[in-house]
Amino acid sequence: MNAKEYSAIDRFLHKLALGSDIVRRTSLELELLTNKYSYNDSSLDSPVYILGLARAGTTILLDALYSTGLFASLTYRNMPFVLAPRLWSRFTARHHKVSNLAERKHGDSLKVGYDSPEAFEEVFWLTFSKEEYLKSDRLIRYSVDNDILDIYKKYVSDFLSIKYNRGCRYIAKNNNNILRISSLLNVFPNGCYIVPFRNPVAHAESLLRQQQRFRKLHSQDEFSLKYMNWLGHFEFGLNFKPICLDDEIIPENENELYSVQYWLLYWTSVYESLLKKHGDDVIFFDFDSFCENPEKSFEVLASAISIDPNLLYSYKDKIKAANNKKNVNIPYRKTQDVYNKLLTKSLQQRNR
């Protein structure tokens, strides 16, 4: 959804709902207080989390899984009161909007509409624990307080209690969950944590292009920058903040963000840390292999997350061949080593 498409009223509502901690907290309190359904922890037994660096294929994976009808995810229709999805859906029921799919602002041919799933749950973490991980120039790994985790479980349970979500498993695409994955693993040990990856050179070049694209967008439209800050999207643009897990991969100056070398080192830092800390906890998903043979990748993915693969096969025609540059020279040995380890541990390789 392009920020330029928002009317003055839309922009006011977004500022009201997302720009104030008090409003966000109050909306969730009202949501939980007015829910007549008892919380059912069994509905949270096996949520699916898609996480990793932006431009790794997370959106396509989310869309494919969501298309099966087995999963519940926040969508654009839940905006801007994403912490009160049940109350907001009741309020807007009489003003149900229908929209045609339109290319999202990334310029990558992926189309979205009101009912498209998207990464909006980060609003919860911004509301309750931003001081723990959101710094002026970076995002850092942290442990989530148990009281906050309890509120989060109630929030997800409430979301699953909405009539159109009942019987579904929760699914969330949120790159920033890398920062709190240990806490999520503790509270949802039976969850499925999918980390897609691509050839590092192709991935770094894609990140660089988006940095250039969003810097221009943010410079031209102040609302688009505020919008990304409210949603906790710091992947690229004027508000870029790197995910720092082990190494401090802070750019020395803004010019560094416009070199592919920086994004390669950034890629290496994030995936190396994931391999070291959570190599046996997550499902590494080779997105390039997926694009080459969608049906086979869907088969092994479906088995890993316990769903019927037949529900995914119809989506395979939407998968485009990736510009994966498999034979390109990777300039850094460390990057090559990390990539080789990811390939070895990938879901596709382990199921050959």
Q: Is the pLDDT of residue 328 over 70?
A: no
What are the helix (H) ranges across the chain? Answer: 8-18, 21-33, 58-66, 85-92, 122-133, 146-161, 181-187, 200-220, 222-231, 260-278, 287-292, 294-305, 310-313, 333-345, 347-350
Side chain identity at 121, as an amino acid letter? E
Helix and strand numbers, DSSP H then E, in the chain: 15, 9
CATH of 3-350, one of 3.30.70, 3.40.50, 3.90.350, 1.50.10: 3.40.50
Lowest-confidence region among 82-86, 247-251, 262-266: 247-251
Q: Are 127 and 28 in contact (CB under 8 A)?
A: yes
Check residues 103 and 246 and name the one with the higher pLDDT. 246
**What pLDDT was estimated at residue 1?**
46
Write out the two tokens for 286: 């080779």
Q: What is the pTM of this model?
A: 0.92
- Ranges of each domain in the chain: 3-350
Q: Is the pLDDT of residue 310 over 90?
A: yes
- pLDDT tens column, 337-352: 999 999 999 999 998 7
- pLDDT tens column, 264-296: 999 999 999 999 999 999 999 999 999 999 999
Q: Are 319 and 325 in contact (CB under 8 A)?
A: no
- pLDDT tens column, 11-42: 888 999 999 999 999 999 999 999 887 666 66
- The residue-averaged pLDDT of 86-93 equals 86
Give the pLDDT band (50/70/90) at residue 101. Answer: low
Strand 111-112 relative to strand 139-140, pairing: unpaired
Give the pLDDT band (50/70/90) at residue 321. Answer: low
Look at phi and psi of residue 308 and say left if phi exceeds 0, alpha if psi is from -120 to 50, else beta: beta
Lowest-confidence region among 100-109, 111-120, 154-163, 319-328: 100-109
Q: Are 271 and 11 in contact (CB under 8 A)?
A: no
184: Cβ contacts below 8 Å, ≥ 6 apart: 49, 144, 177, 191, 193
**What pLDDT was estimated at residue 112?**
64
**What pLDDT was estimated at residue 18?**
94
Q: Is the pLDDT of residue 2 over 60?
A: no
Q: Are 214 and 303 in contact (CB under 8 A)?
A: no
Query: Which of 122, 145, 121 has its CA nearest to residue 132?
Result: 145
